[in-house]
Amino acid sequence: MFIDYITLMLINMVAGVFLLADYVYRGIDSANQRQWIPGFGITGAIALTTGLHMSFTWPVIGSFNIAFGETSVLFGILFVATAVSLAQGWDLLTIAVYGFFAGVVAIVVGIRIINLNLTKQPLLSGIGFILTGLGGIFAAPTLYWKTNRTWRLIGTAVLIVAALIWALTGYLAYWNHLDGFQKWVPAPMR
């Protein structure tokens, strides 16, 4: 059965990256860390669930399962772990270290999407992955320099640009999928 929920994964990433940008901008040094728990938790749960399903079942064609499924697992577990850590009052450094390696994966995937001309807009998708990956790579330095307002503004800007790219990609995908799948029929009904 053909299932394509990359649209859901994309818009979930938009929400998550915007939440992360807000956290970097005004939350990282806030006394009230708990206000980000629900948003990070929801984003993480959807990304982890859809990413694991895509990684285990390969519901879409070709290497899109790797590019979107596996990176969604990494993204999702980071957000779930962040929500749990904020709820427990734990230090975020080890999550930031994990984020570094997940960020490297996102950058490699972004470069390879451009290189292989994958997706309908490979340059835009590749840049989206690269900018999102930079968020992971610079997570630990951002924790270290959390009092540096300029550093945080740069990080916030990078994350907002990444989220806008994913928003454009995701909403266009919804537009196109509604047209492309309008006559699709599940196998039992054929």
Integer Cα distance of 76 and 47 in angstroms: 4
pLDDT bracket for residue 98 (50, 70, 90): very high
Could you tell me if 79 and 107 are in contact, meaning their C-beta atoms sit under 8 angstroms apart? no
Q: What average pLDDT is seen over the chain?
A: 95
Q: Is 14 a domain residue? A: yes
Instruction: Flag whether 174 is in a domain.
Output: yes
In a domain, 29, yes or no: yes
Residue 62 counted as domain residue:
yes
Under the banding of pLDDT at 50, 70 and 90, the label for residue 1 is very low
Confidence class for position 47, pLDDT limits 50, 70, 90: very high
pLDDT in tens, 56-79: 999 988 899 999 999 999 999 999
Q: How many domains does the chain have?
A: 1
State the CB neighbour count (10 A cutoff) for residue 84: 15
In order of 25, 71, 84, 117, the CA distances from 18 in angstroms are 10, 17, 19, 27
173 belongs to a structural domain: yes
Residue 123 belongs to a domain with what CATH number?
A: 1.25.40.600
124 has pLDDT over 50? yes
Confidence of residue 156 (pLDDT cuts 50, 70, 90): very high
Q: Measure the CA–CA gap between 70 and 48, rounded to whole angstroms.
A: 9
Burial of 115 (0-12, 13-18, 19+ CB in 10 A): exposed
Is residue 89 included in any domain, yes or no?
yes
Query: In this predicted model, which residue has the larger pLDDT, 96 or 177?
Result: 96
Q: Is residue 1 part of a domain?
A: no
pLDDT bracket for residue 129 (50, 70, 90): very high
Does 171 reside within a domain? yes
Overall average pLDDT of the 6-35 stretch: 96
Q: Residue 31's CB: how many other CB atoms inside 10 A?
A: 5
Domain that holds residue 126: 6-189
pLDDT of residue 182: 86
Residues contacting residue 134 through CB under 8 Å, at least 6 positions apart: 103, 107, 158, 162
| pLDDT for residue 2 | 64
